[in-house]
Structure formats: C-alpha cells, structure tokens
Structure 1
Amino acid sequence: MPVDRDPADSPAVTALRGAGARAHALAAPALVGLLGGQDVALERERLRRRRVVRLLLAVVAAEAWVVSRQLTGRPVLPALPTIDPLVAVPVLFFVALLGVLVLTQVGTSRSPHVVYRPDQVDVRLDDVIGIDPVVEDVRRSLDLFHAHRQFAAEMGGTPRRGLLFEGPPGTGKTLTAKAMAAEAGVPFLFVSATSFQSMYYGATAKKIRAYFRALRRTARAEGGAIGFIEEIDAIAMARGGLLASATGTSRGAVVARAISEGTGGVVNELLVQLQSFDEPTGADRVANAALGVLNRFLPSHRRVPLRRPPRVPVLLIAATNRADHLDPALLRPGRFDRRLTFDPPDAAGRRALVDHFLARRAHDATLDDPRARDRVAAATNGWTPVMVEHLLDEALVAALRRGARAMSAADVESARLTELVGLGQPVGYTLAEQRLIATHEAGHAAVAWLVAPNRTLEVLTIVKRGRALGLLAHDDCEEVWTRSRTDLRALVEIAMGGWVAEELFFGETTTGPASDLAAATRTAAEMVGAAGMAGTLVSFAATGQDLVPAVLADPQAREQLETVLQDARTAVRRLLAEHRHLVEALRDALLDRHELVGREITDVLRAAEDAHGDLRVPHLR
C-alpha cells in the first residue's frame, strides 16, 4: 500500500537544505529543535516544481500546435506579410527613436544592483575568523530567516528583516554578508549606496524603489533573497543636518529647501521601502480590483475576501563605518532590527586569523612554531583582519625580494616594521644633526624603559620614515582596554623624553620635539578634561566639542593642564640626569647601527645598566 510522504522529505528538498543546514545545526540547537523546519528550502522546492510543470505545459501546448497544423495541412508558422520598404524605413526610424527615449528614461531609474547566486560566492561563515560573537549572532539570524514562516505562524513572532553592520573598515562586514547569502542558499543582491545617486531630481528615489522591487521579485521567484547595501550612509544621513547648516538669505533658504527636499526625499523613500517587503504582486492587484467590483454587488456577509500580500522571505543587510551619522528613524526595530558592531579582533581572534591566513600561504618552519605565531598576534594589537592578511602578503613580497618562495618569521617582522613606521628614506644628515636626532630618540626610549615596564620597545630608529626624522615605536606588553593615571602620566613623560634629552645634552631644544609636545598635550588634556585625574571632575567631553580646544579655552583647566606638563618635564629631567648612561648607550648604538628593533633595544639598555651597576626592580619585558 503506498504511503504518502511529506514533500519536505524528498531528496531535492534535502539537497536544498544543505546550504543552511550547517549554520542551523551549529548556531542555536534549541531554536532549531523548536522550529524544526526550513521554510526557505521548502519554498524553493515548491517553486522549482511549479517551474517544471509550467515548462511541461508549454512543451505540450507547442507540440499540440505543431501536430494540429500538420494534420490540417497548414504551415506551422504563418507567412509574414509583405511591407513596402518606403513605409517600413520611416516606421522603423520612429520606433528606434521612441525606443531610445524609453530606454533612456528606464536607464535612469533602473536598479544598479548585481545578483550573485550561492554557487558564485566562495566564502562561508567558517571563513569569517576573529569575530566569533558576531558570527554567532549572524547564525541565529540565519536560523530565523530559514524558519521565518514557522516563527511567525506558530510562535507569533516577527522575523528579522534588517541587519545593520557597523564598524571600522576592514573588519569583515561585506565578507560576513556574502557568507550569509552562501549559507542561506538564496540569491545575493549587492549594491553600493553611491550607485543610487543620480544627477536627475527624483531618480535616486526611483532607483531605491526599483532595488526593493527587484529584491521582492527575486525572493518570490527563488524562495528567498538577501540584499546588501554597502556604505548606506551615502543615502541615509540624518535629515536635519544639511538644513541646519543653511542661513538666513533668501538664496540660502532656496538652496537649503532644495537640498532638504532631495536628501529628505531619499531618506523618506528608504524608510518606506524598509517596511514594504510584503507589497501585493501585480496579479494580486488585478484580482483584488476584480473582487472589489464584484463585492460592490454582494451583501457584506457574502463578500469574497481579498487576497493578502504574501510574506516574502527577504533579509536586508546594510554596512556603514559611520552609524552615528545615520537618520535615527532607520535604526528603530522594524527597519533594522539588529545592529552588529564589528570591532578589531582581540589577541585570540588575531591568533586564529594568523593560523587561517598562514594555512593558505607558503611559509617555512619558523612560522610553524606556536610561539612565533603568538608573537605575530601580539604584535598586531588593534589590527583588523584585512590588515593582518595584508601583513602576511607583504611578508611574501619580502620573501620574493630575497629570492625565496616561502615567508619566514623575519619576513613577517620586516613587513610589520614597514607597515608600522613606513619605508626608510636615506637622508644625508650632518654629523651634528645625526647626533642630535640620536640623542632625542634615545631620550624617549630611556624614559619608556624607566617609567613604563609594561610597554614593549619595538623600534628605535634615526632613519627617516615618512615625516619623522627618527622615532620610537612602543606598545603595551599585553592587550589592555583601560588606562590608569600612572599609565597616562607615563605616556606624557615618554613624549617629554626627547625634549628633555636635547635640553640636557645640548643646552637648548630644536623644532624636533614639536610633535612630541602635541602628543603630550593631548594625553594631558584627556587626564584633565575627560578622566578626572588632575583635580577637576568636570568632563569637557560632555560638551560635544573637541577635547583639547575645550580644555585650553577654560582658564582653570588650562592651568591644570600646564601643571601636568610641567610636573612631567621636571620628573623626566631628574630621571634622565640620574641615568645619562642609558641615553648615551642608546645614542651610540643608533649612531653605529641607525636602527634597533625589539630585543636589540633592551640588550643595549641592560648592558648599560650592568656596566653602571644599577640596582633596580627587574623589568616585565
């Protein structure tokens, strides 16, 4: 006896589920167990079967036509009528002219998106490394997308329709959106927000409508669709900003009104479209119009119910680097239901990135050592995934320059040095300038060694890189998220080290410390005006102004800022006067080698301390 089977158990549906099954199984087992279904996969199978049936009906109709024409002895295709060329040429000319005009109008309002099919996207969520909390939330959003109909019908919830990805450039926003489309197994409609903009008034709003129309049409035809708008802030800036910048003249008012109408109209159109996913189709409109006419003649209790718009499985993703500039109406639930922040990865995330990228790049045995990979992850504090990948690519370039086919740990360090401080530029310093610059940079390094044992001295150089004639690159030994008063004071003192070293060894200072004093002023302003570390508890950051100008504009705060800087100068002067031998040792090493990296700096300092007989607490480095 035949047994009726659920269509969801067919091999085709099982295959269609494959794209999203892994995310569905890994992300939220409780949600999967509760909802249990794959609405998108079932809808795609239903649409596939409908297309097959339509194709068969078309083939049968064509075959019936051919057979009937042959049985009656008539030609399969009717003969074309004869047309006088003198009539055809003018007609074709005007048809072509009309076609150009129509295509020009259509082209200005056509959606500028590009469609990617799931098999065209070569990334998956497993390739998104270093931002595990974001990936986990993305998987949950995919679960809701897959089971949107059950979530709404059985649980009464509203499926997520919009996700906003915000964060610095290179943190994986676009990559994650592509991976979501591939995992979901549905078409991916990519568009850049700037491509919506047009020189014709009103054309931008038309393009936005066309994009959302294409998104709904694709979702109905394919069982689901994911849209992605890159840099959405190009068309979704806060509507009050431009109008507020206009002032009193009549011409300014007209310009402001035009700008406001254009910008406000675009944002308003975007707001409307974000809530219009379930618009009725053309067939529904025709049917409802006919039913409406019929219902006029029927009593209220006999009227035929109108068709309701189908729930379209659409997920819209937007990415921006400036979420704080977006119109607030965009960010409420119902438009963008979820905001995901993409931050640079932490140490564990960077280590995972290093492992992921090295697995695809040629490297020698020095980079197979876990400690070497840990050092790369620790040395890239604050770097984004794109920056880490670029670092390893530059290391491969360095390997090619020395004639090797695989990068080494030394190549990675060389590439990191170039990324950190730039390419070295040979400059013919005079002997006096060379000695002055070496003394200046040695003063920075000596102060950092003495007052900040929790910092790593990375590069000390008198080779010109960028605009810097010399520099000290230093960073935290471990990843930190907050700083104490001692930490900030140490940063001020390190910035003062070069200025004080010039004063001690040469009796006067030069223009070299100008950037150091600016850095010391900014750090001291944070202590005085934002962190409450210098006497006052008033936060100038609460005013919304830039911190340094706000602090300098207040007489009392300016006096406190001056006190912090003077105290730091006095402390550094006393410190370097007691440890001149450290400055001299580093200066001589720089004059000899021009550049010291990592342990080369600390080796010089430790040798100078041993020779001088310093008895100090051992450093944490």
Structure 2
Amino acid sequence: MHDIALERERMRRRRVYRFAAVVILVEAWFVAMPLLGRSPIPAVPALDPMIVIAGAFFLALILILGGTQVAAGRSPHVTYRPEQVDVTMDDVVGIDPIKEDVRRSIDLFQTHRRFADQMGGTPRRGLLFEGLPGTGKTMTAKAMAAEAGVPFLFVSATSFQSMYYGATAKKIRAYFTALRKAARAEGGAIGFIEEIDAIALRRGGVLASDDAAAGPGSPSWHGRVPGVVKNLVVSEGTGGVVNELLVQMQSFDEPTGWARLGNKLIARVNLLLPAHKQLKQSRPVRAPILLIAATNRADSLDPALLRPGRFDRRLTFQAPDVHGRRALVDHFLTKRRHDPELDDPQLRDRVAAATNGWTPVMIEHLLDEALVNALRRGGDAMTFVDIEQARITELVGIGQPVAYTRAEQELIATHEAGHAVVAWLVAPHRTLEVLTIVKRGAALGLLAHGDCEEVYTQSSYDLRALVQIAMGGMVAEELFFGHTTTGPASDLASATKTAAQMVGAAGMTGSLVSFLPTGKDLVTSVLGDPAARAQLEQVLGDARDNVIELLSRYRHLVEALRDALLERHELIGDQITDVLEAARNNLAHEKAFAEELRRFSEV
C-alpha cells in the first residue's frame, strides 16, 4: 500500500477514535448527572425579549458589515472528492509521452514519504502544464487526482482577482491554507490553478504579443480568403500578488489549525522560561501536496515560479501526432453512434490524417458536429461523409447558397479544377480532400489537400509542388478563357509566401543568406532585396511555365473535373480521384481505339 493510502487510513482511524471519545464523554455525562441528582441538560436562563432583539440586531449588523470583507478574502476554489471526478487516466488519450511522465509524477506523489525519509529525496511539489487550449491539461490534472485518490481543489486564477486592495493576496493565502488542511485531513491533496498567467506574469512591465488567427491545423487549401491577424494584449500582474504566490508555494509544510495555535501558546510560555527549560514546539509535518498549474503562455510567467522547489517540472502539451489522433478517434467513436463503415481501419486512418494539428477537444467537437449532420439528414448514426462535411465547415465555415451565373460557375469550377489537376499530377504524396464551388466564408470555391503521411520537414520538391498547385487556378483561367480574374489573388499570395521561404529561409535557390534574423516579415525582407526578389520571381515564373505545359497536355482532366463540379458542386476525397482516374482511362481507351482504326485503314 502506498504512502497516501496509509496516511488516509491513519487519519480515518484518528477521526473514528475522536468521535468515539466524544460519544463516551456524552454518555458518561448523561449517566453521571442523574446519579448526582442533577439535570443533564442545564436550564436556559430567562432573558428580556428586548435584550434578545437588540443582540440579534447588532449581530446582523456585524455580519452585514463584515460579510463583504470576509467574502472578499475567502478562497474561491471548488473541492472535488476522488469519487466525484468523472475522468480517469484511461480517458487521457492521444498524449502518450505526457501520460507516461504524469504517471511517474503520480507514483512519486503516492510514495512521497518513502522517497523523502528513506531515500533522502525532495518530492515534486509543483507541475506546470503548458500548451495550446484544448490539449487536455485540465482533464489530465483531474485524472491525476482520481488516480491518487485525494481531493482535487480546482480554482481559476481570475477568481483570485478582487476590487479590494489586498484581497487578491488574501484569497491566495486562503487557498493554500485550504490545500494544506485538505492534505492533512485526507492524507494528500492536489491543487489545480487554471490559467495561472492571470496572476503570475513576469514582474516589471506590460507584455504584448501578436498572435495570428490560425484555423484548426488545417491542411493547405487554395481559395479566396485573406489571412487575418489578431492582437492580444496581456495586462501586467501585480508584483505583490506574484510575491504572495511565491511565498505560499514555499509554505506547504507550515502547521495549520490546532498545531499552529499550540505553537503560538508554547512560544508565549517559552518567553517566561529559561533557555534550558524551553518547551519544544511541534515541527511541521511534510504535507503531501501537489500543485498543478495550467497556462498557454508559460514564457510570460515570472521566472521565480519556474525554479525547482516551486514548479519542479514543466510538461508541454502539444497537438497529438497521427498515432495519437487515431487513438482519439477510436476513443471518441466508442461513445458515439456511427455507421459500420467507420469501423474500417482505413477510414479511421483517413480521419486521423485529415486532422493534422487538431487538439483532442477539436477532434471530439468534430465528431459531435458529424452527429449533428447525421441528425439533420434524418439519420441516427454518423457516416464518413458527415465527418468530412463537419471538418470542412470547421475549416472554412458553413456553405452558403449563392446563385452564380452560368459564366461564374464555369469560371470558378475551372479555376478549382486547375488546382486539383496540378496537385494530382505533381504531388502524388498529397491527398485531395475537398473540391468545392460552394461559397464558404469569403471563399467562392476551394481545394483542400494535405500530406498522406504526417511530415515535419519539406523538401525543395515539396515546396515547388505547392507553388505549382497555387498557380493551377490562374493558369486554368488563362487556358480556358484567355484571361484571368481577381480570383487568383489569394493563390498568388500563397505562392509568394512559399517561394519566399525557399529563397530567404531554406537556401533552396542558390543563395545561403537567411532573412529570418532581420526581425521583419520574411516576404517583406525578400522583396526588399533586389537579388532575392529576382530569385523569387524566377521560382514563380518557372512554376507558372511548368503548370501551363501540364494543363495544356492534360486539358481533358480539367474538363472532367469542371463538369463534375458543375453537376455536383462539391467532391470529397475519393470522388475527386475517381473522376480523374475515369478521365485518364477514357482517354487511354480512345487513343487505343484510334490506333486500331489507323492500323485497320492502313491494311
């Protein structure tokens, strides 16, 4: 049995003994008083009603006046008993490296006394969970409390903040006092502070940062949606609040309750006693406490919090890889009704591959939206098509019915078909996921495509292929209509950005000069240098020439996809490649038939 369980059993027995002692004393009182000829229940003295009313009035006044201050300094935490926590470590899926380290921390927490007393080590007191929102930080902390079998004291850092001066620090002291009491009463406790950056920012200034608004780890897609940048300004944490937090994190072993009062009384008595007759105060007992804090801005926290002894370990929660996402898909589908087709491992692999960069919460939400789609079409179970439609909606928004003119329909369908054909020809390692001319957000049409396998690096061939795919729409418009529209504007921006990475960061075009250390935007830096701009223009020009040659040779593929889009408006996954394969096979048959006719005529 581990130390936590032993301590909880020891505390339970103490409570039973205390309760039994109180019961015995009460029984002895009720037995002894009648034997002595006295009533066991003392008589209530008669009081003047006016005195009672006046006393009640003053008591209510004191409570009203002091209640606000008392509430302002009360700890805002919520305590969950182990049996109240609805998640376990088995529910923590998709983050196996983190899960392994978390289990080690639980084992160390449960054997803290053995580790400290027998081995001489210092147990971990604090864990910092950092990572993107929705990566499982809070759920993992709850699962740790359930696994350890100790109370879980949850608090949001923003709930510490108060309009009264000094009340924030007072709430922090109250929270840590409650944490120490729970640990000593229950044999251990786990505290969790959500978004700790709200009270623990680096002291000495206001921090500001610009965060790009990114979608849910979306694959590359080509349409007409410009990028958006959001500014995020973070307010400064009060130095006194951070100082109080630092002090409290060093006071886990301070005595509480009667032990603290007893030490005060002993200290007063020792003032009257000579040095050789001093009474010994009770030493603080190591409190089995583990404090966990979560944030997605760990770099902005005060450095004093991150030293050993406070937050001893930093665990970074990242978006799961393809294996983690597959485990999440399996886990979530076990609890949701789905069509038998989704039991096919290949389809589940496709869902995992198509959600590159997605967090566990986003994948769960995706499957919930797929159930919504199933409900809307009158079904009672989700299908793969429902999942794909939900994923595209998450990526680029809800489809909007637009009454295109026939000319606009042909133009947009040709544009998107050009992207898809080039992607199919020059990047066979990428999957064509969605091809649509349905208006979604600001995009009149788009092609979504991603890597068949999860990759972390890209070769010069991969980047040149991305540039050519971006050029596909504009070249298709030129070949079929003799002119271009404003549609390729976002495509050219994407191609320029990729080409700038090749020229100014990856050294793929002959120059080894990197423009990243300049502090400016990479595209701006490359365009500002005449030599680098010439190389960028060369990359874009070569890509356009290659795409013109490809689409001129495979014009029939563009026509086949265009016609399919005009008929169905949206193609998903295999529907795209089926159209392309059929068009290629038909052309091969036509050429073979023409060759037979030629030979027959010669004979």
User: TM > 0.5 between the two?
Assistant: yes
Q: Does 1:270 align with 2:245?
A: yes
1:132: which partner in 2? 96
Q: For residues 320-360 of structure 1, what are the alpha-carbon distances to aligned partners after superposition, in whole Å with 9 as ceiling and x for unaligned?
A: 22222222222222211111122222222222222222222
Q: Partner amino acid for 1:69?
A: M
Show the counterpart of 2:542: 567
Which of 557, 569, 584 is the aligned partner of 1:594?
Answer: 569
1:182 partner letter: A
In the alignment, structure 1 residue 369 sits paired with structure 2 residue 344: yes
1:166-213 per-position Cα deviation (integer Å, ceiling 9, x unaligned): 222222111111111001000000111111122223222221121111
> Of the candidates 109, 112, 118, which is equivalent to residue 154 of structure 1?
118
Question: Within 2, Cα distance between the matches of 1:164 and 1:314?
Answer: 14
Deviations along 1:67-91, whole A, 9 cap, x unmatched? 2333334333333333333343333
Q: 1:513 to 1:91 in 2, by over 3 A?
A: same
Instruction: Tell me the secondary structure at the aligned position of residue 265 of structure 1.
Output: helix
Question: In the aligned structure 2, how far is the partner of 1:46 from the partner of 1:468?
Answer: 66
Q: 1:216 to 1:394 in 2, by over 3 A?
A: same
Task: Name the SS for the 2:206 alignment partner.
Answer: helix
Corresponding residue SS for 2:190: strand
**Counterpart code for 2:284:** P
The answer to whether 1:339 aligns with 2:303 is no
- Pairwise mapping of residues 244-255 of structure 1 onto structure 2 (< 5 A)? none
Unaligned runs of 5+ in 1: 1-36, 246-258, 615-621
For 2:39, the aligned partner's letter is: P
Q: Pairwise mapping of residues 301-450 of structure 1 onto structure 2 (< 5 A)?
A: 303-450=278-425
d(CA) in 1 for partners of 2:45 and 2:522? 82
The answer to which of 76-85 and 96-105 deviates more is 76-85
Map residues 22-33 of structure 1 onto 2, 5 A cutoff. Answer: none
Task: Measure the CA separation in 1 of the matches of 2:270 and 2:121.
Answer: 33
Question: 2:212 matched to which residue of 1?
Answer: none
Equivalent AA in structure 2 for residue 219 of structure 1: A
Structure 1 residues 543, 95: closer, same or farther in 2, change over 3 A?
A: farther
TM-superposed deviation, 1:244 = 9.7
Contact 2:417/2:558 (8 A) holds in 1: yes
Inter-partner Cα distance in structure 1 for 2:317 and 2:235: 32
Listed as ranges, the matches of 1:395-544 within 5 Å are: 395-543=370-518
Q: Distance in 2 between matches of 1:370 and 1:399?
A: 21
**Equivalence for 1:164:** 128
Whole-angstrom distance in 1 between the partners of 2:442 and 2:506: 31
1:88 and 2:89 matched: no
Distance 1:65 1:97 in 2: 37
Residue 182 of structure 1 corresponds to which residue in structure 2? 146
Shift, 1:439, TM fit: 1.5
Letter in 1 for 2:72: T
Which segment drifts farther, 503-512 or 224-233?
503-512
Go from structure 1 to structure 2 and tell me whether the alpha carbon gap of 1:175 and 1:429 turns closer, same or farther (over 3 Å shift).
same
- Is the CA contact 1:239–1:260 (under 8 Å) kept in the aligned structure 2? no
| C-alpha spacing 1:267/1:563, structure 2 compared with 1 (3 Å) | farther
1-side partners of 2:294 and 2:583: how far apart?
Answer: 53
Q: Which residue number in structure 2 is paired with residue 3 of structure 1?
A: none
TM-aligned CA distance change 1:600 to 1:405, over 3 Å: closer
Q: Which structure exhibits the higher relative contact order, with contacts defined as CA atoms closer than 8 Å and separated by 6 or more residues?
A: 2
Q: Report SS of the residue matched to 2:336.
A: coil
1:212 aligns with 2:176: yes
Counterparts of 1:244 and 1:496 in 2: how far apart (Å)?
Answer: 37
C-alpha distance in structure 2 between counterparts of 1:548 and 1:286, whole Å: 67
Cα separation, 1, equivalents of 2:78 and 2:90: 24
**Counterpart-to-counterpart distance in 2, 1:244 and 1:396:** 40
Are 1:74 and 2:38 matched, yes or no? yes
Instruction: State TM-score, norm by structure 1.
Output: 0.85
Q: Structure 2 CA distance, aligned partners of 1:550 and 1:229?
A: 42
Q: Per the alignment, in what secondary structure is the counterpart of residue 98 of structure 2?
A: helix
User: Deviations 1:420-450 (Å, cap 9, x if unpaired)?
Assistant: 4432211001112111111211121122112
TM-superposed CA distance for 1:543, in Å, is: 5.0
Q: Decide whether aligned partners of structure 1 residues 274 and 94 sit closer, same or farther in structure 2, where only a CA change above 3 A counts.
A: same
For residues 227-262 of structure 1, what are the alpha-carbon distances to aligned partners after superposition, in whole Å with 9 as ceiling and x for unaligned?
A: 1111112222222341899xxxxxxxxxxxxx9996
Q: 1:200 aligns with which of 164, 167, 170?
A: 164
Structure 1: distance between partners of 2:502 and 2:75: 51
**Residue type of the alignment partner of 1:390:** H
Q: Which amino acid in 2 is paired with 1:565?
A: L
- 1:63/1:549 CA distance change after superposition, 3 Å: farther
* 2:556 aligned to which of 575, 578, 581: 581
1:609 matched to 2:584: yes
**CA pair 66-554 structure 1, distance change in 2 beyond 3 A:** farther
- Is the Cα contact below 8 Å between 1:226 and 1:314 reproduced in 2? yes
Q: Which amino acid aligns with 2:304?
A: A
Give the counterpart letter for 1:357 in structure 2.
Answer: F
CA distance, structure 2, for counterparts of residue 586 and residue 553 of structure 1? 40
Counterparts in 2 of 1:368 and 1:260: CA distance versus 1, 3 Å: closer
Note closer, same or farther for the CA distance 1:325–1:380 as it changes in structure 2 (3 Å cut): same
Q: Say if 1:438 and 1:462, in contact at 8 Å, map to a contact too.
A: yes
| Seq. identity, % | 73
Structure 1 pair 543–309 and aligned structure 2 pair: CA distance change class (3 A): farther
How far has the Cα of 1:40 moved from its partner? Answer: 0.9
Tell me the alpha carbon deviations over residues 258-305 of structure 1, each in whole angstroms, 9 at most, x when there is no partner: x99962222222222222211232444444444445556666666544
| In 2: Cα distance, 1:513 partner to 1:244 partner | 35
What secondary structure is seen at the aligned counterpart in 1 of 2:193? Answer: strand
CA distance in 1, matches of 2:544, 2:168: 58
- The answer on whether the counterparts of 2:255 and 2:285 sit within 8 Å (CA) in structure 1 is yes
Equivalent residue letter for 2:474 = W
Query: Once the 2 structures are TM-superposed, how far is the Cα of residue 595 of structure 1 from its aligned partner?
Result: 1.4
Distance 2:154 2:520 in 1: 37
SS in 2 for 1:240: coil
| Contiguous gaps of at least 5 residues in structure 2 | 210-233, 590-603
Q: What is the alpha-carbon distance in structure 1 between the residues aligned to residue 154 and residue 136 of structure 2?
A: 15
Deviation by residue 1:52-77 (Cα, 9 ceiling, x = unmatched): 11111111122222223333343333
CA-based RMSD of the aligned residues comes to 2.7
Hey, what does 2:29 align to over in structure 1?
65
- CA 1:545–1:341: 2 relative to 1, 3 Å: farther
Q: How many residues align?
A: 566
Which of 262-271 and 425-434 deviates more? 262-271
Q: Distance in 2 between matches of 1:264 and 1:534?
A: 51
Q: Is the 8 A contact 1:202 1:262 kept in 2?
A: no
Q: TM-score, normalised by structure 2?
A: 0.87
Secondary structure of residue in 1 paired with 2:579: helix
Answer with 278-287 or 312-321: which moved more. 278-287
> Alpha-carbon deviation of 1:550?
4.5
Measure how far apart 1:385 and its partner are: 1.8
Change (3 A) 1:445 1:136: same
Give the direction of change, closer, same or farther, for the CA distance of 1:540–1:95 in structure 2 (3 Å limit): farther
* Letter in structure 2 aligned against 1:79: A
Q: Secondary structure at the match of 1:239?
A: coil
Is the CA contact 1:201–1:262 (under 8 Å) kept in the aligned structure 2?
Answer: no
